[in-house]
Structure 1
Amino acid sequence: MSEGVRSADASSPQGVLDRALGLLGSFSEDEPELSAVELSERTGLAPSTMHRLIGTLLRHGLLVRVPDHRYAVGPRLWELGELSPLSLRLRERALPHLVRLYEATGENVHLAVLDGPDPERSHALYVDRVTGRQSIPTISRAGGRGPLHATGVGRALLAGRDEEWLRRWFSTPRDRETVHTVIDEAELRAEIERTRARGYATTREQMTLGNVSVAVALPHVGGLPPIAVGLVVHLERVAGAEAERRLSALVVQSAREIHAAIREP
């Protein structure tokens, strides 16, 4: 391909959009602010191209300047994100029920959806969470991602997938988040079957040491991705089967209430 063709492709609307998305995708929870040099390194764009692109994104509010000649994601992206069905239809309608579950337990409450372009790259996307000062600390955040095999909501979402989807998902490696994380396919398949049989998923110190998760997947809702709601509690608070049954019953009830609230467009 000639240099002229490459330049034309890069300046096309699609090429510009690809570059803008690549730039915005450079930001992360660990690095929410980046310099132009760092953005160039992450995207592979020439400094001159990067500065032109930054100027365009600044004008549209998709980027903002922060101290020390750095940039961060702009408010226009947040504004647009709030128009997503995940916000308008799911999070806003689910929030009263999440708060009720928190008030009943005093524990971390998570709302998550299955997200990813294909099974091999899917994860649990946290849409919302409710927590308090007495809740055990977690690493999750609204807008953050969690692995399907090591989180309660992830396990609940896995239980709703068919065999072809699972076959593709199992074809990719799984990270060991703690010394207790189950990554073996046979063990995970057994957990998926247990989740389907009892109606809720559990994880024990799979994502964070000292934490236990109890989660339930909602029935399918048209226009929304698969959804799960869950609790994350301290290991000592789920010491026996009776405590697990009590918490799982509360999560099941919350899932029913959320499903009733969101199933109408």
Structure 2
Amino acid sequence: MRTPTGESVLSRAVRIFEAFTPDAPALTVSEISRRTGLHLATASRLVAELVSHGFLARDADRRVRIGVRLWELGTRASPTLSLRDAAMPIMEGVHDVVGNHVQIGVLEGDEVLFLERLTAPGAVINYTRVAGRLPLHASSSGLVLLAHGPVDLQERILTGPLHAYTPHTITTATALRATLAAVRQQGYAYCPGYFHQDALGVAAPVRDSRGGVVAALSVVVPHDDGAASVVPVVRTAARGISRALAAQGAHGPHG
């Protein structure tokens, strides 16, 4: 069914779902209306219908958030399930060793989408969150995925702009191209202070049963002299997840 403007009701519902972000997980109907460009009455009607189906839920203060039913359906059919199942036991082992953040991310559009994350009280600052995204050029996971990604994606990112988050962030195409070549050659990304000056990221590729890079396993640790010691831990763990995926015959989230 289409509206008088020609846009389907489903398209409008998708716009409502996309209004929610990691920074804004709960919204009023008025906020949804502003973020989607939908008339307030239209937004209110669609929200009410989505709530009735469990795809959205209302808090006690009438703010709206993504409903458990949508999570349930998405999780049930998600092609990332095999990746998460293979990764979690190994990530827990890495977490025991490094005592900071351990995470796994996949390529989604021009960003890294993080599927899972383990952390600890007092760990170094980290902007990663589950279902959150980071730019490819400024994160260790992103550099691994970009280094092994399609050529057209690499060229698109190389054309910039490459936003600087700290003085250490890669901001030129020449430096990024050289870094991607180094990541492919050495088998990991090492990013001291790229996203926050106090933090250092290390990431290694996770491969599916056909050898394609489908994810990046990374840790975020303090930016100090001992950070290099986590490199072999991350590389070994990433190979372990790859072997687990191969045993499942899994092809990764996009395969």
Fold match by TM threshold 0.5: yes
* 8 Å CA contact retained: 1:115, 1:225: no
Higher helix share: 1
The equivalent position to 2:216 in structure 1, one of 228, 235, 258, is: 228
How far 1:6 sits from its partner (Å)? 6.0
Equivalent in the alignment of 2:70: 77
How far 1:85 sits from its partner (Å)? 1.7
Unaligned runs of 5+ residues in structure 2 are 251-255
Q: Deviations over 1:78-101 (max 9, x none)?
A: 112222121x21112210000011
Give the total of aligned pairs: 245
Q: Secondary structure at the match of 2:41?
A: helix
How far 1:68 sits from its partner (Å)? 2.9
The equivalent position to 1:47 in structure 2, one of 40, 46, 55, is: 40
Q: What TM-score comes out, normalization by structure 2 length?
A: 0.89
The equivalent position to 1:107 in structure 2, one of 82, 100, 104, is: 100
How far 1:164 sits from its partner (Å)? 3.3
Q: Distance in 1 between matches of 2:86 and 2:53?
A: 30
Q: What TM-score comes out, normalization by structure 1 length?
A: 0.86
Letter in 1 for 2:6: D
Residues 105/6 of structure 1: CA separation in 2 closer, same or farther (3 Å cut):
closer
Alignment map for 1:169-208 (pairs within 5 Å): 169-208=157-196
**1:37 maps to 2:20:** no
The equivalent position to 1:161 in structure 2, one of 126, 144, 149, is: 149
* 8 Å CA contact retained: 1:155, 1:202: no
Equivalent in the alignment of 2:111: 123
Q: Distance in 2 between matches of 1:170 and 1:145?
A: 19
Q: Distance in 2 between matches of 1:225 and 1:250?
A: 18
Q: Secondary structure at the match of 1:150?
A: coil
Q: What percentage of residue pairs aligned between the two structures are identical?
A: 33
Letter in 2 for 1:250: V
When Rg is computed on C-alpha atoms for both structures, the one with the higher figure is 1
Q: Secondary structure at the match of 1:186?
A: helix
Unaligned runs of 5+ residues in structure 1 are 117-121
The Cα RMSD (Å) is: 1.9
Q: Deviations over 1:39-84 (max 9, x none)?
A: 1111111122112101110011111111333211111121122221
Equivalent in the alignment of 1:18: 11
Q: Distance in 2 between matches of 1:134 and 1:50?
A: 41
